[in-house]
Structure 1
Amino acid sequence: MAHLKSKLLEIDIEPGAVSEVSPLLRRVTAPNPSVMTGPGTNAYIVGRKELAIIDPGPSISSHVSAMLEGCSGARLRWIIVTHTHPDHSPAAMLLAEATGAELVGAMIENDGHQDTSFQADRQLQDGDVFANDEFTLRAVHTPGHVGNHYCFFLEEEKTLFTGDHIMQGTTVVVIPPSGDMADYLHSLEKLKTLNAEYLAPAHGHVMLDADSVIQGLIDHRLAREAKVVSAFEKCSSGTLDQLLPLVYDDVDPKVLPVAKIALWSHLLKLETDGRASKQAGATIEQEIWSLTGSA
């Protein structure tokens, strides 16, 4: 795995290039950089003779061409999506039409954030295995970011493909109602049991020290939850907009609209835990939250 470790020292991710990451793994990054996607969405080509592609990404012709180039001379058998957000799955249909590969993913009711063009040939289940003479890829259901999210563990290289459950350089947005903070934390604990060495995210570089990264995310979310609770010492009750600057006083103001979604997900978790309650409002923004038992 020394080859993999050397690749982790890369500074730049070049959209459109087929990058060698390890003996079994190549990466093709889509040209869709943004605040939410980082350098772009990573599609991973697993195998050398009979292939799987994980997260084909957006339907951009140059990106599809780059993935097909990466599959040249081999059989693409599986096109697998971690979840059906529009930066992850729309290219799947184009790849399937060009190669005849099986489309694999978990469908979910459209919550306004789904790629409705994606139609799975096979519905994912926790523990599903995709295997051949080269590799064994195991599906791990990881709801949290969204309810139909899956990670995939490449057993031969101890590499975990994390989709949007874990991103390099930033934290993941948990988007209610399909996204759930309690589920997210539970899924992180579940991933620790795999004993992965490497994390291959859909956005950013491959990461070493998988267990440390995972535990760091758990610690970060619990620390943010503690800040939510502490905010009620300064504001006994409040709306999302009133609580937001108290809970997220340590972030760039440009990301506060996204932080408000995260705050909502933390409050919903506290409500489920019986530690917070709300007075209904005409909109989510008008709901008034307080700690259970507080004034």
Structure 2
Amino acid sequence: MNAPIDPADMPTGIRMTLSPLVGRVLAPNPSPFTYTGTQTYVVGTSDVAVIDPGPDEANHIAAIVAATGGRPIRAILCTHTHRDHSPAAAPLAAVVGAPIIGCAPLTMEDDGPRADAAFDAAYRPDRILTDGDQVAGEGWTLQALATPGHTSNHLCFALLEEKALFTGDHVMGWSTSVISPPDGDMTDYMRSMQRLLDRDDAIYYPAHGDAVDNPRRLVRGMMGHRKQREGQILRFLERNGASAIPAMVAEMYKGVDSRLHGAAGRSVLAHLIDLDQRGKAAPLDDGRWRLC
């Protein structure tokens, strides 16, 4: 992973040119989960696409419009519908008259405590992209790559002319992604990571964190990290017997900001569900988990 970013080097509301076809505008929404904020990308020269317009913040929407330099916006694309990614799509479309294109809306069954508080329920795309679908303008082509795992509707977008991949939250430049069941799925996530490992992209542009200039090495390392975490869980259960997730988090995430322990618990649960599907662990009625 690249060196940590100094927030002073990531000013909000200003277009930063990253390549002949790619510019970036940082949204003013830093947090323990978004790092320095959501990065909105502007792709193209004569006409452009906007990827992950971000939160519905008037100043950020104005900054996106300014970053286009008056060029027509052909498409507003969303990698997924977490509230730091897609809510600005509709107000931006209202200003510039561009279609909203990208991931499918996400509707979750309300069969228990709701788990979709972080999702943008108002997201309404004009066109839904599926794996392999393309959006193009003058001198640029974006191809959708289905990458479920972080969310079931997650897409990455490949910029074919530059062998670049906009990875949303599937691969970030500063941290691993949170996989939060029931929508987040560790099995799907690992399959999607393998898809990326099998590709030959030259650079990743994530929604959070710096660009990644050795993407296959990063993906390989992230997959190894998940395997190590799985091993930690299995060893914990072997050593301690049936256990609850908070006890696992307390041991396995020592030194991690306590504000992230809730998210860590969701990822541990995702690992346990995956282990259950593979016959290696099983849930008990009291909320604890045991080895099989």
Fold agreement, TM-score > 0.5: yes
Once residues 260 and 57 of structure 2 are traced to their aligned partners in structure 1, the CA distance between those partners, rounded to angstroms, is 27
Q: 1:171 aligns with which of 173, 176, 192?
A: 176
* SS across alignment from 1:22: coil
Once residues 40 and 223 of structure 1 are traced to their aligned partners in structure 2, the CA distance between those partners, rounded to angstroms, is 28
Q: C-alpha displacement at 1:49, in angstroms?
A: 1.2
* SS across alignment from 2:16: strand
Deviations 1:47-79 (A, max 9, x none): 011211000000111100010011233110100
1:91-130 alignment runs, 5 A limit: 91-105=88-102, 106-110=104-108, 111-130=116-135
| Counterpart in the other structure of 2:288 | 288
Give the gaps of 5 or more residues in structure 1: 1-7, 282-286
Decide whether the 8 Å contact of 2:238 with 2:291 is kept in 1. no
Once residues 52 and 122 of structure 1 are traced to their aligned partners in structure 2, the CA distance between those partners, rounded to angstroms, is 14
RCO (CA 8 Å, sep 6+): is it higher in 1 or 2? 2
| Deviates further, 66-75 or 136-145 | 66-75
Q: C-alpha displacement at 1:259, in angstroms?
A: 1.1
Decide whether the 8 Å contact of 1:58 with 1:87 is kept in 2. yes
Q: C-alpha displacement at 1:232, in angstroms?
A: 1.1
Decide whether the 8 Å contact of 2:83 with 2:120 is kept in 1. yes
Q: C-alpha displacement at 1:126, in angstroms?
A: 0.8
Q: C-alpha displacement at 1:145, in angstroms?
A: 0.5
| Deviates further, 176-185 or 243-252 | 243-252
1:209-288 alignment runs, 5 A limit: 209-249=214-254, 251-281=256-286, 287-288=287-288
Decide whether the 8 Å contact of 1:78 with 1:104 is kept in 2. yes
Deviations 1:226-276 (A, max 9, x none): 100110122111111222223334534442222111111111110111111
Residues 72, 223 of structure 1: alpha-carbon distance in 2 compared, 3 angstrom cutoff: same
Once residues 100 and 266 of structure 1 are traced to their aligned partners in structure 2, the CA distance between those partners, rounded to angstroms, is 43
Q: C-alpha displacement at 1:132, in angstroms?
A: 2.8
* SS across alignment from 2:264: helix
| Counterpart in the other structure of 1:15 | 12
Decide whether the 8 Å contact of 1:50 with 1:77 is kept in 2. yes
Deviations 1:14-62 (A, max 9, x none): 1100111110000000000111001110000000112110000001111
**Identical aligned pairs, as a percentage?**
39
1:22-171 alignment runs, 5 A limit: 22-105=19-102, 106-110=104-108, 111-171=116-176
Once residues 234 and 40 of structure 2 are traced to their aligned partners in structure 1, the CA distance between those partners, rounded to angstroms, is 39
| Deviates further, 266-275 or 244-253 | 244-253
Q: C-alpha displacement at 1:131, in angstroms?
A: 1.8
Once residues 128 and 155 of structure 2 are traced to their aligned partners in structure 1, the CA distance between those partners, rounded to angstroms, is 11
Equivalences, count: 280
Q: C-alpha displacement at 1:109, in angstroms?
A: 0.7
Aligned residue type for 2:153: N
Aligned-pair Cα RMSD in Å = 1.6
Aligned residue type for 2:131: D
Residues 114, 10 of structure 1: alpha-carbon distance in 2 compared, 3 angstrom cutoff: closer
Q: Normalising by structure 1, what TM-score? A: 0.91
Give the gaps of 5 or more residues in structure 2: 109-115
Once residues 76 and 126 of structure 2 are traced to their aligned partners in structure 1, the CA distance between those partners, rounded to angstroms, is 10
| Deviates further, 247-256 or 157-166 | 247-256
Once residues 195 and 43 of structure 1 are traced to their aligned partners in structure 2, the CA distance between those partners, rounded to angstroms, is 23
| Counterpart in the other structure of 1:284 | none
Q: Normalising by structure 2, what TM-score? A: 0.92
